[in-house]
Amino acid sequence: MTPVLALSLRSIGNRRLSVALTVIAVALSVALLLGVERLRNDAREGFAQTISGTDLVVGARGGAVQLLLYSVFHIGNASNNVSWQSMQRLAALPQVQWLVPISLGDSHRGMRVVGTTADFFTHYRHGAGRALGFAQGRAFAAAPDGLFEAVVGAEVAARFGYRIGQRIVLSHGSLGGEGGPRFADHADKPFTIVGVLGRTGTPVDRSVLVGLEGIEAIHVDWHGGAPIPGLSIAPEHVRKFDLSPKSVTAALIGLDSRVAVFRVQRQINTMGPEPLSAILPGATLQELWSLVGVAERALLAVSALVVAVGLAGLVAVVVASLGERRRELAILRALGASPLQIFALLALESVLLSLAGIAGGLGLLYGAIALAAPWLSASYGLDLAAGWPSAGEWRLLGAVLGASLAASLVPAWRAYRYSLADGLTIRI
């Protein structure tokens, strides 16, 4: 078998150009397959960690996915609010370590306004427990000093070019994002940006965060979703009113011990008098991903097809070369090569080319990750890992290698048949 390997390599070297092109095609397809697999895993992981470190999300009684969608992803609206008394009861539960209320309903130029407390910045975690970081400035101060202070997400700041000190006006209503109905502006009570958050890849990037009291303050002269006619209270006078929140949309809860999470969940779900729903964000995120994950699996299937096309091209090149190499096979037979050695020669050639393609694909993948990772992280908050191939990726590589082994049998078998049929007859 030794002369076979040497001959294989020399024969490949002789057809460098066509061989290089097919290897590049295979390398590109392998890089695409692995890239999709890695992106898909990292996207799923990033998605599953949109919110981490929060043990329970509590809102008005309703579906788990719906609650997660409006409270964390700011998609859709809550059917009901939760009263402040319920919030206080939740906070008083012995297992609850912290509670961050969230009040939604207003928007700013299509971005959701999140009314919350400064605790949000300490307790909201994403990814592997990463805290929110400030690109500029600080968190809004507690009322009354920080009543009209706002913190904007990275996307909001980037999209509108906002900097610290700029004043923004919030709008009532938030249905359907930028193009949706916006009922009226709270133009009389502008907010001052005091902080810009770093990029997280979560919905926080597209949020404007203000204090709960600020939300109350812009609504003191409103009733039932519209300004009360003839009543306008200037911002300097608003502090005289009771600005403590009456109700909020949802709450993020952290427990002393995660072990208690199911017990606390059941306790909240059955607690009176107000009907509440408590969900485990991680589990619900997985459920949500299984809905959107179809696209990601389709993408993987398409890239698997691309690999199949690449390998088919490789086999086509080797098979096409066989026609002009029939005399070569006859020479080898005359020199004492057995039909099995001829088979091995051709099989080895295809396998070597596939291996080169796979290695090239891995190289392309790591090169692309090294180049694109900073940009992906900055623009999409997607963290691509440059580590060793995961178990799933090894499985894919194994599948590609298996497919290439199977494909290599095509030219090998053909050459075997030729060498048996031709014998020592030199056919041109």
Partner 1 sequence: MAEAPRGRGQAAPMVMAAGMRYRWPKARTDCLVIDELVLEAGERVFLRGPSGSGKSTLLSLIGGVIQPGAGTISVAGQPLASLSAGARDRFRADHVGFVFQLFNLLPYLSGRDNILLACRFSAARRSRLAEAGVSPEAEVARLAARLDLAREVLARPAAELSVGQQQRVAAARALIGRPGLVIADEPTSALDADRQQAFVDLLLGECAVSGAALLFVSHDLRLAAHFDRVLDLEAINHAAGAAEQRA
| Site of interaction with partner 1 (CB under 8 A) | 2-3, 6-7, 10-11, 13-14, 327-328, 331-340, 423-426, 428
Nearer to partner 1, 97 or 338 (CB): 338
Which residue matches tokens 């700029």? Answer: 166
Nearer to partner 1, 336 or 387 (CB): 336
CB of 359 to partner 1, least distance (A): 23
CB 26 within 8 A of CB 310: yes
Nearer to partner 1, 23 or 102 (CB): 23
CB of 9 to partner 1, least distance (A): 10
CB of 350 to partner 1, least distance (A): 17
Nearer to partner 1, 53 or 339 (CB): 339
Nearer to partner 1, 9 or 128 (CB): 9
CB of 424 to partner 1, least distance (A): 5
Of 66, 91, 84, the C-alpha closest to 76 is 66
CB of 313 to partner 1, least distance (A): 22
Nearer to partner 1, 142 or 331 (CB): 331
Of 217, 61, 192, 51, the C-alpha closest to 120 is 51
Q: Please name the amino acid found at residue 140.
A: F
The β-bridge partners of 116 are: 211
Q: Please name the amino acid found at residue 131.
A: A
CB neighbour class for 390 (10 Å; exposed up to 12, middle 13-18, buried from 19):
middle
Of 292, 387, 404, the C-alpha closest to 34 is 387
CB of 337 to partner 1, least distance (A): 6
Q: What are phi and psi of 225, to 5 degrees?
A: 85, 10
Number of neighbouring beta carbons within 10 Å of residue 229: 8
CB of 336 to partner 1, least distance (A): 2
Of 145, 259, 235, the C-alpha closest to 194 is 145
DSSP designation for 257: -
d(CA 61, CA 74): 17
Nearer to partner 1, 307 or 337 (CB): 337
